[in-house]
A and B are shown apart, each in its own frame.
Chain A
Amino acid sequence: MSPIDERFALAVALMAGAAYGCRLVGYLIGRVAGQSPAVRRVLDALPASAMAAVIGPALVGADLLELAAAAVTAGVFLVSGRFLASLSAGAAVLVLAPGLIA
């Protein structure tokens, strides 16, 4: 197993534990506690904040092409509301634009 595979295997174990753990904890909460508006409000806000917290530093470190791809992805989604079309448009910018520029 290569060094990257060893690191990735550990990352997979951490990711799988986190994802399944959250599913299980949610199910157990649903069984015993129901859903209060206060809990729902925090649970709604945390994932979006976590995603933004990962995106923020990545965008700061991104090059112009990556920023353009992100802008196209977001723009297409905001206009069309179509997930797959938006991702395709952003990915197209990412992989096709360098060839067009050259």
Chain B
Amino acid sequence: MPTSPPLPSDSAPLTGFAAARAGAIACRSISASSFFFGLLYGAACAALGIATGLAALSSLLVFSGAVQFAMLPLVQDPLPAAAIAISSVLISTRLVLMGASIAPVMAPRPWPARLGALAVLTDGAWAATIAERRPVDRFAFFVGAGGSTLVLWVAGTTLGALLAALADPALLARLPFTGMLFLVLLLLMVTRAARLAVLPWLIAGAVSALAAQVVALEAAVLIAVAVGGGLAWWRGAAPAGGR
């Protein structure tokens, strides 16, 4: 969880650059993690033969480690575009919830600023902003938290892609699977932090693994997500203690 250094009790509310800097400081541990993940992601891209500039551009434009890592194994010939689009949306659905949650922070700003700020909405920036209790310009704080994470994410990606040229090809061949490790971790982290029930996603994973043996991956993902979502809805609608 992000932590904020205390301010003197008589200090004025932070605004502008000072608020953005406070956001970057509050989010520093997550930003550091992003740099590390960026190194792995950049190296994994290089292992697939993807150009360094394109890898960096993907981190800049997508800015979602879960989506980027998960989709790397799908960059095949022919490209399963529908599976990538559907899976990206489904994995990004938590951004919908965070976007809804962060709406009051955006309210006082003009539309161009809001639309630009949404580009840096990630788990870390959202968590740091929601947790912030000091008197601070929360919009600038949010942009500082998300922006600093983005800078380190892109820097890590670029450095990882460049350093990959020095690495053993056999080692590089292993790196794309780090995307799965990242996704496993993210799943466990979200389950723990949001106190999600394990059964729906466990069933979804099993259904997808089985369904992928007989239907295309995009269909398997859709079936599994429908089963997982339906199960979660059914459990939520059940009387207490019923399931």
The reply to whether chain A is a binding partner of chain B is yes
Q: Does B2 make an interface contact (CB < 8 A)?
A: no
Q: Does A49 lie within 8 Å of B229, measured CB to CB? A: yes
Number of A-B contacts (CB under 8 A): 296
Give A66 to B184 CA distance when docked, in angstroms.
12
CB distance from B67 to the nearest CB of A (A): 5
CB distance from A90 to the nearest CB of B (A): 4
B40, B64, B103 — which one has the most chain A CB atoms within 10 A of its CB? B103
Q: Which of A32-71 contact B (CB under 8 A)?
A: 33, 35, 38, 40-60, 62, 65-66, 69-70
Question: Which A residues are in CB contact (< 8 Å) with B182?
Answer: 87
Main secondary structure of the interface of B (DSSP, over half): helix
Question: Which A residues are in CB contact (< 8 Å) with B162?
Answer: none
Q: Of B97, B103, B197, B206, which is within 8 A of A40 by CB?
A: B97
Question: Which A residues are in CB contact (< 8 Å) with B163?
Answer: none
Q: Does A44 lie within 8 Å of B194, measured CB to CB? A: yes
Residue of A nearest to B32 (CB): A84
Question: Which B residues are in CB contact (< 8 Å) with A30?
Answer: 99-104
Q: Does B7 make an interface contact (CB < 8 A)?
A: no
Residue of A nearest to B70 (CB): A54
CB distance from B28 to the nearest CB of A (A): 13
Give A16 to B207 CA distance when docked, in angstroms.
27
Give A77 to B75 CA distance when docked, in angstroms.
29
Give A81 to B48 CA distance when docked, in angstroms.
31
Q: Does B113 make an interface contact (CB < 8 A)?
A: no
Give A41 to B200 CA distance when docked, in angstroms.
12
Q: Does B17 make an interface contact (CB < 8 A)?
A: no
Q: List 30 A-B contacts (CB under 8 A).
A: A4-B49, A10-B81, A12-B62, A18-B92, A20-B118, A22-B89, A22-B96, A23-B98, A23-B99, A23-B121, A25-B99, A27-B106, A27-B118, A42-B232, A47-B91, A47-B190, A51-B66, A51-B186, A51-B187, A54-B87, A54-B183, A55-B184, A56-B207, A57-B220, A60-B209, A70-B184, A73-B184, A78-B188, A84-B32, A98-B171
Interface pairs A-B: 3 shortest CB-CB: A26-B99, A49-B228, A30-B103
